[in-house]
């Protein structure tokens, strides 16, 4: 007989602060002047449910994050549209010994691209944008004089869809445009910090690496342009549009575009960590100080649509369900969801990183201080695993997370028939069986680090 141990439901109201820009476009990454609009929301806690039959599952995750030197991780699992598991592991803030909770906010890096793709499809559904619409040139969405200084006429061929599937003509052959601000500033003879318009202007002043649509090459720059496209068409800031049209309608109110410096983290946002040997770098904004890349060295705010969102694992899982073809309630039409997951040979899907033949979908995200994995499996299981630490393998770490989760999830025969999106459902709990999961393959790495000396 299954023995369950419950503690009282702990529902805590937190006051978060939402940055507003008075509907102005976010063209400059200012972190000095902004207004705060407060709102409240309910969040789950690690103490809501302690289930003895899942303790081995949690021990497996704890062993994994310790072996990889991960400070903290947040995990949310949904089964057939219901949130059946939500827990934090390790620390949200090592220095202050704050334990990770499922309500903590974390950067999700390139998982942001999926959010952006959903926003684009929403504009397409509303008849305000077309996937085959041209972006630059006299008839393009971004036809203002600032973006008319391109030297390669092939730029006029770029479409919205090509930006989404990474076939617009840019590679990272000479570096990632969104992580080379100091070099761009020198070449433009401008002072830091740069805004996204500066980066677009600089890149349009160079020749394309290949003809748009000829092939694809994964890069961040296309999604930076998509942010400007969304702002031009929606006539509001990218962040505001996504909140009002993607997140708020599904009950998500804890998603924001990140700030860069450690001192400007949102309430309930975690602290970020890198490998112990990580070197300090100049601040992104030209200030005379040396910082970690994750604490002001990289300009995450300008990364925006390509990798700038912070959100809780629970809310990210809710978003994934809102664009799942088999969910009862979705934020997009079935046609748009199919478009996002269409596997056109030789090209990336729109927003997603991979879509398997069986229908399983993966979205990964990684940069200094962050690693995120979001998976929607073909067996009705959806899960999110986000860390506030970047192990030394960088972008390959989500593969290791997937391997561990695939092995561990195979040992779970049933999940509580609860829905933690609605905490009241925990009062009457049964278990439901789950099917087998999908696993990606990658070679193994097994380092072990000590975080005790990291500040």
Residue pLDDT, tens place only, 26-48: 434 434 333 333 333 345 888 87
For residue 106 the two structure tokens come to 């974390």
Q: For residues 452 and 338, give the distance between their C-alpha atoms in angstroms, rounded to a whole number.
A: 46
Residue 421 DSSP label: T
Residue 333 contacts residue 279 (beta carbons within 8 Å) = no
The CA distances from residue 445 to 64, 226, 256, 378, 396, in Å, are 11, 36, 33, 27, 10
Residue-wise DSSP of 138-156: TTSTT-SGGG---S-GGGG
Q: For residues 387 and 392, give the distance between their C-alpha atoms in angstroms, rounded to a whole number.
A: 13
Q: What is the mean pLDDT of the chain?
A: 85
Average pLDDT over residues 125-135: 98
The stretches of 308-437 forming alpha helices (DSSP H) are 313-322, 334-341, 397-409
| Chain segment 162-218, per-residue pLDDT in tens | 999 999 999 998 889 999 999 999 999 999 999 999 999 999 999 999 999 999 999
Q: Is the pLDDT of residue 70 over 50?
A: yes
Peptide bond preceding 193: is omega within 30 degrees of 0, i.e. cis?
yes
| Chain segment 237-246, per-residue pLDDT in tens | 999 999 999 9
Burial label, 254 (beta-carbon count in 10 A; 0-12, 13-18, 19+):
buried
Residue-wise DSSP of 46-114: TTSEEEGGGHHHHHHHHHHHHHTT-SEEEEEEEETTEEEEEEEEEEEETTTTEEP-TT-BEE-GGGHHH
More confident residue, 61 or 175: 61
Residue 434 contacts residue 414 (beta carbons within 8 Å) = yes
| Chain segment 331-376, per-residue pLDDT in tens | 999 999 999 999 899 999 999 999 998 889 999 999 999 999 999 9
């Amino acid at each position: 007989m299954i023995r369950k141990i419950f503690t009282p439901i702990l529902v805590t109201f937190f006051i978060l602060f939402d940055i507003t820009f008075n509907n102005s476009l976010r063209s400059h990454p200012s972190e000095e002047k902004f207004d705060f609009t407060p709102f409240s929301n309910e969040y789950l806690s690690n103490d809501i449910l302690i289930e003895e039959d899942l303790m081995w599952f949690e021990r497996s995750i704890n062993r994994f994050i310790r072996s990889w030197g991960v400070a903290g991780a947040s995990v949310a699992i949904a089964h057939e549209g219901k949130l059946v598991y939500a827990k934090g592991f390790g620390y949200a803030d090592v220095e202050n010994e704050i334990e990770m909770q499922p309500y903590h906010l974390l950067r999700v890096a390139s998982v942001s691209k999926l959010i952006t793709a959903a926003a684009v499809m929403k504009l397409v559904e509303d008849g305000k944008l077309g996937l085959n619409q041209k972006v630059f040139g006299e008839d393009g969405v971004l036809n203002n004089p600032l973006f008319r200084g391109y030297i390669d006429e092939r730029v006029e061929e770029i479409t919205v869809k090509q930006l989404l599937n990474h076939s617009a003509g840019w590679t990272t052959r000479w570096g990632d445009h969104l992580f080379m601000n100091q070099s761009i500033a020198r070449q433009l003879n401008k002072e830091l910090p740069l805004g996204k318009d500066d980066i677009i202007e600089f890149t349009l002043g160079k020749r394309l690496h290949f003809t748009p649509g000829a092939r694809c090459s994964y890069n961040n720059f296309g999604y930076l342009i998509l942010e400007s496209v969304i702002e031009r068409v929606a006539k509001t800031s990218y962040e505001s549009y996504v909140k009002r049209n993607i997140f708020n309608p599904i009950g998500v109110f804890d998603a924001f575009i990140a700030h860069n410096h450690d001192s400007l983290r949102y309430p309930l946002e975690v602290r970020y960590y890198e490998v112990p040997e990580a070197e300090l770098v100049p601040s992104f904004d030209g200030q005379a100080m040396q910082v970690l890349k994750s604490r002001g060295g990289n300009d995450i705010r300008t990364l925006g649509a390509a990798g700038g969102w912070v959100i809780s694992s629970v809310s990210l899982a809710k978003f994934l369900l809102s664009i799942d073809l088999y969910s009862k309630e979705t934020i997009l039409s079935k046609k748009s969801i199919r478009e996002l997951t269409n596997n056109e040979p030789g090209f990336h899907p729109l927003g997603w990183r991979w879509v398997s033949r069986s229908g399983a979908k993966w979205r990964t995200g990684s940069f200094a201080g962050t690693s995120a994995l979001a998976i929607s499996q073909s067996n009705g299981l959806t899960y999110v695993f986000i860390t506030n630490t970047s192990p030394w393998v960088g972008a390959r770490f989500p593969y290791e997370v997937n391997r561990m989760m695939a092995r561990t999830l195979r040992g779970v025969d049933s999940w509580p028939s609860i829905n933690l999106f609605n905490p009241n459902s925990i009062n009457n709990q049964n278990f439901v069986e789950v099917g087998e999961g999908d696993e990606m393959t990658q070679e193994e790495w097994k380092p072990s680090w000590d975080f005790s000396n990291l500040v």
